[in-house]
Amino acid sequence: MRSFARTVLVLAGALALWLVSSDAFAQKVYLNPSDQDNNAVSGGGVESQYALIVANKAKAILDAAGFTTKVDQDFSSAPSNANSWGADVFVSIHSNAGGGHGTETLYKSDGGKKLASAVQNGLLSKLPYQDRGLKYRDNLHVLNNTNMYACLLESVFHDCTAGSGYAGHPPSESAFLRSADGQTRIAQGTAAGVCAYYGKSCDSTTPAKGTLRGVVYIDPDIANRIPGATVKLNTGASVIADGTGSWAFELAPGTYTATATADGYEPNSSTRDVVAGQEVWGSIGLKPTTVTGPEPEPEPAPEPVPEAGPVDSSVGDVVTISDAASEAAAPKNDWNTDDDGGCGCRTPASRTASSSWLLLGAAALLFATRRRFPRT
């Protein structure tokens, strides 16, 4: 009897566990990708095109996790179709526009808010863009006309063409949406959110590492890359940036500082927290090295002016320019002195008084003699 009772208890426990598991993984998920063919995506394509790709990728992940999933791109009839099918949750997949950046999810009801929160967190775990949060909306067809909990996700801004300034400058959101990797990540985030809403994980294995990546560019223009730059972590690991200036490390969770160097540029660093299973951006801008020329040599001191020396009479007249002090100290020529050496070419300005009187006396004597002895 005891053995039989024990067997019954084991079977009952197994049945209960199976029922709980079946209930969790047999949920009906209705995915409604945007049908907006007139919303052009920068760089090519339209919103509906990429939303359908994402929805089909998310369906594959959810189906593999045990959910029953349906994709319906008919915007008008999707709510009524979901109601008729008996969907448990409804997720509408869109991309945003209007010049912003980041990821947001919309809801209307309290239950829808809980679903929206799980989906938003799932997307943020896979996308490298900022969190725009949850937003209440009561004017959306798909939220107003569904009987089950519903949300509408806006994965990225499909009109954004510039590299985002958030968390290390990841690529433009339009380029991300158009890439196969970006589409896969949006689908993974969507599915992860639905799984988390039911308390489960869609990942078959838990990743042990995360990715730290970025580009090296000439600050402040992120489009002007520096190929061949060296990027070195504080752990000692290093890589060389490729032809587009891109670099990446697969790392265990933790905080890392990456330092970029390149010839002709000042080194610079970025510090980021790496999370397992997530991609973190830490792009680094470098400024050109400032070239400093040699210091100018001091001007030579002026040579001293030589003092004026004696004038060489054999050379002729020489004019010597000297300062006022030298001129005042120079001796004055006295033309009345007997010594006129060196000035033989000059005539004294006057004679002595004695010479003048002798001439007058001689003239008077001649005059008197002529009067005493008249001519015959």
Domains, the chain, ordered by start? 23-197 (3.40.630.40), 210-286 (2.60.40.1120)
Confidence check: pLDDT of 331 > 70: no
Would you say residue 315 has pLDDT above 50?
no
263, two tokens: 């010839």
Nearest to 123 by CA among 132, 114, 113: 132
CA distance 35 to 55: 12
Average pLDDT over residues 166-171: 62
Contact 105, 152 (CB under 8 A): yes
What digits encode the pLDDT tens for the residues 141-150?
999 999 999 9
| β-pair type (131-136, 254-261) | unpaired
Is 4 a residue whose pLDDT tops 90?
no
316: left (phi over 0), alpha (psi -120 to 50) or beta: left
Contacts of 343 (CB under 8 A, 6+ apart): 313, 333
- Whole-model pTM: value is 0.60
Tell me phi and psi for residue 132, to 5 degrees: -90, -5
Q: Quick check: helix, strand or coil at residue 268?
A: strand
pLDDT in tens, 174-202: 999 999 989 999 999 999 999 999 998 88
Contact 187, 58 (CB under 8 A): yes
65 pLDDT more than 50: yes
Whether 82 and 151 have beta carbons less than 8 Å apart is answered as: no
Residue corresponding to tokens 């510090």? 271
CA distance 274 to 235: 14
Instruction: Characterise 245 by phi-psi region: left (phi > 0), alpha (psi -120 to 50), beta (else).
Output: left
Alpha carbon distance 256, 185 (integer Å): 24
Q: Residue with structure tokens 């009524």?
A: 80
**Cross-strand pairs, 261:** 230
What is the helix (H) or strand (E) element at residue 137, kind and residue range?
A: none
Per the model's pLDDT, the better-predicted residue between 100 and 238 turns out to be 238
Residues 6+ apart with CB under 8 A from 281: 128, 167, 168, 169, 170, 212, 213, 214, 272
Q: How far apart are CA 313 and CA 311, in angstroms?
A: 6
CA quadruple 180, 69, 124, 43: dihedral sign: positive
Is residue 13 predicted with pLDDT exceeding 80? no
Report the run of H or E that residue 288 belongs to, with start and end.
none
**pLDDT tier for residue 332 given thresholds of 50, 70 and 90:** very low
pLDDT higher at 345 or 279: 279
The two three-digit tokens of residue 126, written as one number: 């896979």
- Check: CB of residue 209 under 8 Å from CB of residue 252: yes
- Segment 325-351 shows an average pLDDT of 41
For the chain, the helix, strand and coil percentages under 3-state DSSP, each to the nearest 5 = 30, 25, 45
